[in-house]
Amino acid sequence: HALEDYRCPLSQALQLFTALKTLGVEVRMALFPGENHDLTRSGRPKSRVEYLKVMLDWLRSHLGVA
């Protein structure tokens, strides 16, 4: 979650994360300091690469794709 995202506040992301965790759903949360709502489009290259890595790792682990 981009920590400077004011459209989707961190508090809401934490509520969803906590609710899913409480229900026994396997969840992960990645935090991106200094990034805003446009992380995936105009964020710093390092953050964008890390975001994609986290997403791909999660998809691979849950979809069984190599």
Interval 18-66: pLDDT, tens: 999 999 999 999 999 999 999 999 999 999 999 999 999 999 998 887 6
Q: What is the pLDDT of residue 66?
A: 61
Cα–Cα distance measured from residue 38 to residue 53, given in angstroms and rounded to the nearest whole number: 17
Confidence at residue 65, expressed as pLDDT on a 0 to 100 scale: 72
How many helices (H) does the chain have, and how many strands (E)? 3, 0
Using alpha carbons, list the distances in angstroms from residue 16 to 19, 31, 39: 5, 14, 20
